[in-house]
Amino acid sequence: MNKTSVRPRQNGRRRPNLNATEGGQPTRGVRGKRPLPDFEADAQRVFGANSRFGDVLLGKYGNSIL
């Protein structure tokens, strides 16, 4: 089996593109200052486009932590 053809997966979903760039600079996985990734796009990919898990989490459980 050609292992290089297998995409790394996380919870059954494709991992973020470590080679993604913004303005020619890598956004992930490299030491030193660089642009941050698009968190909103990442969340849509991981949780689904209509998810409101953050609101549920902080609304329902936010007062119970420190």
Partner 1 sequence: MATAYCDFWLVCAAILPGRKQSAANRLLRQLDAPLAVNQLHVLQLEMILARAEPAHPKDVARARAQFKAYLEELVFEVQPSRWEAAFALAVELSRGHAVGGASPTHLLHPCLAAVAGFTHYASFEPEARRFARAAGLRLLPSAA
Q: How far apart, in whole angstroms, are the C-alpha atoms of residue 48 and residue 41?
A: 10
Q: Distance between CA 39 and CA 28 in Å, rounded?
A: 12
- Give the residue, chosen from 4, 5, 10, 19, that forms a contact with partner 1 under the rule CB under 8 A: 10
Residue 62 to residue 59: CA distance in whole angstroms: 6
Does 57 bind partner 1 (CB under 8 A)? Our answer is: yes
Closer to partner 1 by CB, 2 or 50: give it.
50
Q: Which residues bind partner 1 (CB under 8 A)?
A: 10-11, 15-16, 18, 27-31, 33-40, 42-44, 46-48, 51-58, 60-62, 64-66
